[in-house]
Amino acid sequence: MNKKTIRDIDVKDKRVLVRVDFNVPIDNATGDIIDDTRITAALPTIAYLREQNATVILVSHLGRPDGKVVESARLAPVAGRLGDLLGMEVPCASDVVGASAQATVASLQAGGVGMLENVRFEPGEEKNDPALAKKLASFADVFVNDAFGTAHRAHASTAGVADHLPAVAGFLMEKEIDYLGRVVEDPEPPVAAIIGGAKISSKIAVLQHLLSKVSVLLIGGGMASTFLKAQGVDVGASLVEDDQLDTARDVIAEAARRGVTLGLPVDAVVADKFAEDAEARILNVTAVPDGWMILDVGPNTASDYIAKLVGVRTVVWNGPLGVFEWKAFAGGSRALATALATSQATVVIGGGETVALVQGMGIADKFAHVSTGGGASLEFLEGRVLPGVAALLDK
């Protein structure tokens, strides 16, 4: 990685503003945090700064409050969970840059950790308002971005602050850039990509970018139905982007031209409706009944995909093969995840729903890297420059 990290800058006894991604799922009924993965992922950076006697001021968003104060999106429960993990009190301000934030920051001792309120309560955050960025910067001597999940956004707390403070990466940001960068720039061949999810339109740039780098490309999820229809297969009532049929044909042709092994479903788990309790059948993809829809790849497809991955050295997986949240339609994704968990390849799970899948299976620790960034990892795999990364100091 050609960006400076907290190891490359003097943070000893400094006030450090750390952008974290604590956008965690919270149970609306109880207020309990459902999954604290994003909080625990930031602990190494926080611990290092505390070891350097730095004062740590955390800034994060939660949900989509759209520039307004939304009570259910306050960060106090998150600060509470972080405090439990650190074994110390983590005070949380009731505003972002106002009197409460100023008092909270002023109260922190060296080695202390405090949190500002949800930065997206400020209307200037998502507009990258220079005035908000300057106020945030006024709290600190150094800026550390450890929020890869928001690095694709040019916001006041991800990019704007870097105009006023020395800006470096935290350990989580460093790890994300290293692993995803290796996949994009210098992967150990042969390389395979597994791309799933609902729509080609959201993944086309990734498909096009990775085609020049992979030996194997496996397609799953709802987008597979568009590929199948592009080949003349009647997929019944399955989700299809008719305006992307030519795009699918182009990908198929380009894969053939480059000698890339392309995997498309040969059988599928089909349902009579889009519902968890739908009637499910396993059929050849050419036998989908009228009014039925493909909701998962079938067992023959899962076996074929696993066979195609034998011998590959690097795998990147973004997007499940089916509606894995429902047991009847999770078989394909779970079979592939299980196989990859015991693979000798370097496997990178590229954010989003695929992360939820492997975490739910309890096998996330079996992979080389599980990205915390959904949209950010997708844009990184497209080869885009992420504003939150570009703003950091070069080595």
User: In this predicted structure, what is the pLDDT of residue 28?
Assistant: 80
| Encoded tokens for 75 | 């960060």
Strands (E), 255-394: 261-263, 267-271, 280-284, 293-297, 314-318, 346-349, 369-370
Residues 189, 248, single domain; the answer is yes
Distances (CA, A) of 257 to 60, 315, 383, 392: 45, 21, 22, 39
Beta bridge partners of 348: 316, 369
Give exposure, 209-224, as e/b (b: 16+ Cβ within 10 Å). Answer: bbbebbbbbbbbbbbb
Residues 297, 367, single domain; the answer is yes
> Would you please indicate which residues are annotated as catalytic (active-site) residues?
38, 199, 352, 375
Q: What's the CA gap between 255 and 16, in Å, rounded? A: 47
Residues 235, 165, single domain; the answer is no
Residues 371, 278, single domain; the answer is yes
Q: Which of 151, 171, 191 is the last residue of a domain?
A: 171
Residues 192, 134, single domain; the answer is no
- Residue 105 dihedral angles phi and psi, to the nearest 5°: -65, -40
DSSP run (H or E) holding 194? strand 191-195
| Encoded tokens for 103 | 């008092």
Dihedral angle of Cα 293, 297, 300, 305, to the nearest 10 degrees: 150
Can you give the length of the chain in residues?
Answer: 395
Residues 260, 364, single domain; the answer is yes
Tally of structural domains, the chain: 2
Residues 105, 235, single domain; the answer is no
Q: Which single residue is written with the structure tokens 């308002």?
A: 129
User: In this predicted structure, what is the pLDDT of residue 374?
Assistant: 78
Contact 178, 51 (CB under 8 A): no
Contact 371, 316 (CB under 8 A): no
User: In this predicted structure, what is the pLDDT of residue 147?
Assistant: 96
**Could you tell me which residues come within 8 angstroms of residue 163 by beta carbon, excluding any fewer than 6 positions away?**
130, 133, 137, 391
| Encoded tokens for 108 | 């922190």
User: In this predicted structure, what is the pLDDT of residue 223?
Assistant: 95
User: In this predicted structure, what is the pLDDT of residue 186?
Assistant: 86
CATH at residue 107: 3.40.50.1260
Which domain does 309 fall in, by range?
A: 178-381
Q: Is 386 a member of any domain?
A: no
Q: Is 267 a member of any domain?
A: yes
The candidate with the shortest Cα–Cα distance to 163, out of 8, 393, 4, is: 393
DSSP 8-state secondary structure symbol assigned to residue 282: E
Contact 191, 213 (CB under 8 A): yes
User: In this predicted structure, what is the pLDDT of residue 352?
Assistant: 75
Kindly give the parts of the chain with pLDDT less than 50.
none
Q: What's the CA gap between 68 and 127, in Å, rounded? A: 14
User: In this predicted structure, what is the pLDDT of residue 37?
Assistant: 87
